Chains A and B, each alone.
Chain A
Amino acid sequence: DQQVKQNSPSLSVQEGRISILNCDYTNSMFDYFLWYKKYPAEGPTFLISISSIKDKNEDGRFTVFLNKSAKHLSLHIVPSQPGDSAVYFCAANYGGAQKLVFGQGTRLTINP
């Protein structure tokens, strides 16, 4: 039972344009969502997060949007840069469980 789903295995975007990565979840108990970025041969690194009491959180070029009614969140990167090429994981957590549930990941490629 995949509680967190990233339905696009890969995404290719031109440098300077906007990258939009999507994530859907099924567990309505989730109340905290995170995005991680992963380069080859490295561990995931935290990128940005959002609490369920918000619908948007912004950090520089990165913005995460949360639509609770649709159980959907998205990560916007603008403008996209070559260094953004990586695998992006969406993750979710609920009520002090301290156990992140991850999506399958989306490989983002930024083309010059």
Chain B
Amino acid sequence: NAGVTQTPKFRILKIGQSMTLQCTQDMNHNYMYWYRQDPGMGLKLIYYSVGAGITDKGEVPNGYNVSRSTTEDFPLRLELAAPSQTSVYFCASSYSLVTHYSNEAFFGQGTRLTVV
């Protein structure tokens, strides 16, 4: 019962470096999401995907890129890391059919990223 798996769990980046946060799910979910959570704040949507090959921007997409080549994987790319991207990142997935309208997204454990 792996669910949603994120790697790495922790990472320290220097300003200007790049990295990819990995996310994979084994529940055959159509929808996948990337959220970030800043201290004392709720989760804000960065990007989401409704299926392989289809992605769209969320509330805070600047500085990030995504791709969805398979149903299982949804990596998040930071090209030029900035201190403002210091946050905890959560990947999530949900199952969506016309008749299944519940949006019970399942979350990974999170990646704590620090940019110095």
Contact = CB atoms under 8 A, between A and B. Distances in A.
Specify whether A and B are partners. yes
Interface of A: 4, 6, 9, 32, 34, 36, 41-46, 49, 89, 93, 96, 98-105
A93 B43 contact: no
Q: What is the predominant secondary structure among interface residues of chain A facing chain B?
A: loop
Given A98-B48, A98-B50, A98-B94, A46 B42 contact: no
B104 interface: yes
B106 interface: yes
Contacts of B41: 104-105
Interface residues on B, range: 20 to 34
Interface of B: 4, 31, 33, 35, 40-45, 48, 50, 58, 90, 92, 94, 96, 101-110
A32 B102 contact: yes
B109 A102 contact: no
A43 B90 contact: yes
A100 B40 contact: no
A43 B92 contact: yes
B42 A43 contact: no
Contacts of B33: 99-100
B105 A100 contact: yes
